[in-house]
Chains A and B, each alone.
Chain A
């Protein structure tokens, strides 16, 4: 079937692409790519950097595996459990009393939309995990409603992750994970668990909800790690 289509004439100019092989608008295909006859695509956005296979979205789409849980900040709490079973919890008031960050970040959903310059307010995981005794390399993050997702601890520390409660200057809407969600913008957004309630440190990686269903354990959009084996 591959012979049904001619190779891309000339192919892209390799000088315009970085080592990972993609440019600012999409995955670059060399000679031999399967051309889609008549397909031109949109005008390529300029001045923005999109991971391979993503497109820019101005709205804020909602994706969840089940109904949106109704979680009140009056009953909300966040609990960290280390591998010895020692727990540390924060109520809403305690979370609000911690130092707050205001990250402005790009986010990338595995369903292929990316959203630039999203403005959040929340508490860095560096603050929450600072006093936790652990040598674990992995964490399972849990949510109200039962959702789970696994992440390397290295991707939660060093100014890379927050418990976020404010989006664009307003309390985070329940559809988007309010009252509080994990925010790990450098990974695909299913890792940024909505309605977050717990973080359990684990010496050995285990798959979370989507990871059991075929999605990648790390989910780095810049390496297009969408599915297991990518």
Chain B
């Protein structure tokens, strides 16, 4: 075998043939650029939203993520990916938001949640990812089921915001599983989205603790709840599942068992294998 040159798109698209480079549509801009932290908002006891001004941001799709690169005084760097929480913005609009959950013993998230001061510069690359995305124009009309565990709500929230901002009325049902009421992200905004009565429904369930007035005890999402609060498979909804691996494995297994075509189920997982 010769050693083929494989680093550039040129080798894959011989002249005269239609380009197979679908990848270019999602190409990530090379190189890092410097963004500025313009606002911090506390979302829960363990999560903060960081609003970044990224000059020349090319716009993004709901569900995409960006990479952040942090640099210590000795030149050491750490890179991490974070889902974009904000809905799509006009190309070049500049301001994007990520919501960061503090991971115990994490290297980067405790710094970002607790210390990263407004006005600081940070390197950014993105947007990244073209699979776990929803577009209010291209994907309009097909019912959507959003299943979020913990901070898996973040990319899903970007989709809900994209829908709202576009004035779209695609039927969307969201089931959000979170440990306790104190851990909830965006509770007021979720309530406001549902109160618009424009086809967006949201359910929040607690897995660890509930208030005394809550009728449902603390437990994980059950198959019957998923069947009741989700969409029947006959409607052929697009299903998005995002959260820790244990949540995604359990929920996607249930959803497929209920008759949903695995090809319509998109997943995004994060965190350690042991949930």
Given A175-B245, A214-B26 in contact, is the A12-B71 Cβ separation under 8 Å? no
Is the Cβ of A138 less than 8 Å from the Cβ of B30? no
Is the Cβ of A5 less than 8 Å from the Cβ of B121? yes
Q: Is A229 interfacial (CB-CB < 8 Å)?
A: yes
Q: Is B159 interfacial (CB-CB < 8 Å)?
A: no
Q: Please, which residues of chain B bring their CB within 8 A of the CB of A30?
A: 75
Binding site for B on A (CB under 8 A): 1-2, 4-5, 8-9, 11-12, 25-30, 33-42, 44, 53, 55, 57, 59-69, 111-112, 137-138, 145-146, 152-154, 157, 175, 204-207, 209-215, 217-218, 225-230
Q: Pull 12 A–B residue pairs with CB atoms less than 8 Å apart, ordered by A.
A: A2-B121, A4-B120, A34-B122, A35-B71, A35-B72, A53-B69, A53-B79, A66-B263, A152-B6, A154-B1, A213-B131, A214-B129
- Which of A66, A138, A152, A214 is in CB contact (< 8 Å) with B262? A66
Closest residue of chain B to A151 (Cβ to Cβ) is: B6
Is the Cβ of B73 less than 8 Å from the Cβ of A228? no
Q: In the bound complex, how far is the Cα of B75 from the Cα of A98, in angstroms?
A: 49
Given A34-B34, A36-B71 in contact, is the A213-B245 Cβ separation under 8 Å? no
4 closest residue pairs by CB, A with B: A214-B26, A213-B130, A227-B28, A67-B252
Interface string of B1-12 (1 = CB under 8 A from A): 111101101011
Q: Please, which residues of chain B bring their CB within 8 A of the CB of A40?
A: 72-73
Interface string of B249-275 (1 = CB under 8 A from A): 100110110000011011101111110
Is the Cβ of B116 less than 8 Å from the Cβ of A38? yes
Q: Please, which residues of chain A bring their CB within 8 A of the CB of B107?
A: 41-42, 55
Is the Cβ of A8 less than 8 Å from the Cβ of B71? yes
Q: In the bound complex, how far is the Cα of B149 from the Cα of A28, in angstroms?
A: 36
CB distance from B66 to the nearest CB of A (A): 12
CB distance from A136 to the nearest CB of B (A): 9
Q: Is B183 interfacial (CB-CB < 8 Å)?
A: no
Given A60-B273, A154-B4 in contact, is the A41-B262 Cβ separation under 8 Å? no
CB distance from B252 to the nearest CB of A (A): 4
Q: In the bound complex, how far is the Cα of B71 from the Cα of A127, in angstroms?
A: 45
Closest residue of chain B to A65 (Cβ to Cβ) is: B131
Is the Cβ of B20 less than 8 Å from the Cβ of A25? no
Given contacts A42-B107, A62-B245, A69-B262, 19 further A-B contacts (CB under 8 A): A1-B35, A35-B72, A35-B73, A38-B115, A42-B78, A61-B269, A62-B269, A67-B255, A68-B253, A112-B79, A112-B80, A175-B273, A205-B12, A207-B20, A213-B129, A214-B129, A227-B28, A228-B26, A228-B28
Q: In the bound complex, how far is the Cα of B260 from the Cα of A66, in angstroms?
A: 12
Interface residues of B in 51-94 (CB under 8 A from A): 53, 55, 69-81
Is the Cβ of B27 less than 8 Å from the Cβ of A227? yes
Q: Is B141 interfacial (CB-CB < 8 Å)?
A: no
Is the Cβ of B27 less than 8 Å from the Cβ of A12? no
Q: In the bound complex, how far is the Cα of B267 from the Cα of A65, in angstroms?
A: 5
Interface string of B98-126 (1 = CB under 8 A from A): 00000000010001000111011111000
Residue tally, chain B, CB below 8 Å to A:
70
Q: Is B128 interfacial (CB-CB < 8 Å)?
A: yes
Is the Cβ of A68 less than 8 Å from the Cβ of B36? no
Is the Cβ of A9 less than 8 Å from the Cβ of B73? yes
Binding site for A on B (CB under 8 A): 1-4, 6-7, 9, 11-12, 14, 20-24, 26-30, 34-36, 53, 55, 69-81, 107, 111, 115-117, 119-123, 128-132, 245, 249, 252-253, 255-256, 262-263, 265-267, 269-274
CB distance from A59 to the nearest CB of B (A): 4
Q: Please, which residues of chain A bring their CB within 8 A of the CB of B6?
A: 138, 152, 205, 217-218
Is the Cβ of A62 less than 8 Å from the Cβ of B273? yes
CB distance from B257 to the nearest CB of A (A): 10
- Which of A28, A214, A230 is in CB contact (< 8 Å) with B75? A28
Q: In the bound complex, how far is the Cα of B55 from the Cα of A39, in angstroms?
A: 23
Q: In the bound complex, how far is the Cα of B245 from the Cα of A62, in angstroms?
A: 6
Is the Cβ of A205 less than 8 Å from the Cβ of B130? no
Q: Please, which residues of chain B bring their CB within 8 A of the CB of A69?
A: 262
Closest residue of chain B to A42 (Cβ to Cβ) is: B107
Is the Cβ of A111 less than 8 Å from the Cβ of B81? yes
Is the Cβ of B24 less than 8 Å from the Cβ of A228? yes
Is the Cβ of B253 less than 8 Å from the Cβ of A229? no
- Which of B12, B20, B30, B256 is in CB contact (< 8 Å) with A230? B30
CB distance from A12 to the nearest CB of B (A): 4
